[in-house]
């Protein structure tokens, strides 16, 4: 299948989430129907996809894991029952949600800016997708703030209710500020 391209610019990303999500849905539908390369104002960078499935994966990533306003209830829907989590082997979703709650409570102010030029989506033999992306972040609480760059690594499997995260890992590439 020919490679398709979604060209993204910063205008709509600054405008807010709902507009970005509607534009991504339109882009995915157009790709699914075999449209020519799509150029729209969504976020910075370029996403290259060679299938509608990979476009869906990119959309899932932007809509969920990279949403700084995500709640614990949102996260509950994203994860499989058991997840390979940061090199600690298979962990129950409840443990992951406890870890995420600690993060949300510790850092009530969060901002994430994905570097779409680093997005890599690979379809595995079992139909799962491996995703890697670098993200600029700033997190803060009443006492301190930290900013930097991190690499997010996920594996997604398709379930009846949509994609589920079955592996999550990553690492901090750079960090500025106080806190851990």
* Mean local confidence (pLDDT), 159-179: 89
CA terminus-to-terminus distance, the chain: 45
The percent of residues in the chain predicted with pLDDT above 70, rounded, is 69
Asked if 115 and 133 touch (Cβ cutoff 8 Å), the reply is yes
Residue 44 above 80 pLDDT? no
DSSP string computed for 150-174: EEEEEEEEEETTEEEEEEEEEEEEE
Confidence of residue 179 (pLDDT cuts 50, 70, 90): low
pLDDT reported for residue 4: 44
Domain boundaries defined on the chain: 1-63, 70-180
Please indicate whether residue 38 or residue 133 has the higher confidence score (pLDDT): 133
pLDDT at 157: 93
User: How high is the mean pLDDT of the chain?
Assistant: 76
- pLDDT for position 36: 38
How many angstroms from the chain centroid is the CA of residue 78?
Answer: 11
Q: What is the mean pLDDT of residues 170-179?
A: 88
Mean pLDDT of 12-31: 48
Q: Give pLDDT, residue 37.
A: 42
Average pLDDT over residues 63-70: 77
Task: Give the residue, 23 or 61, on which the prediction is more confident.
Answer: 61
pTM here is: 0.71
Tell whether domain 70-180 is in CATH 3.10.450.50: yes
Only one residue has tokens 């990119």, namely 58
Highest mean pLDDT among 23-37, 74-88, 110-124: 74-88
Q: What pLDDT sits at residue 35?
A: 43
Average pLDDT value for residue range 52-74: 77
């Amino acid at each position: 299948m020919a490679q398709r391209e979604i060209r993204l610019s910063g205008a709509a990303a600054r405008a807010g989430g709902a507009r970005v999500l509607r534009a991504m849905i339109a882009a995915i539908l157009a790709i699914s129907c075999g449209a020519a390369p799509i150029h729209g104002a969504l976020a910075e960078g370029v996403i290259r996809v060679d299938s509608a499935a990979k476009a869906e994966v990119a959309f899932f990533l932007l809509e969920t894991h990279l949403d700084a306003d995500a709640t614990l209830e949102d996260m509950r829907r994203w994860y499989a029952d058991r997840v390979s989590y940061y090199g600690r082997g298979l962990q129950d979703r409840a443990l992951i949600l406890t870890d995420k709650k600690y993060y949300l409570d510790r850092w009530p102010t969060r901002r994430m800016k994905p570097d779409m030029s680093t997005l890599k989506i690979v379809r595995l033999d079992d139909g799962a997708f491996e995703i890697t992306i670098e993200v600029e972040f700033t997190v803060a609480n009443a006492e301190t703030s930290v900013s930097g760059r991190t690499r997010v690594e996920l594996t997604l499997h398709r379930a009846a209710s949509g994609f589920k995260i079955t592996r999550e890992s990553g690492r901090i590439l750079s960090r500025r500020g106080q806190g851990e």
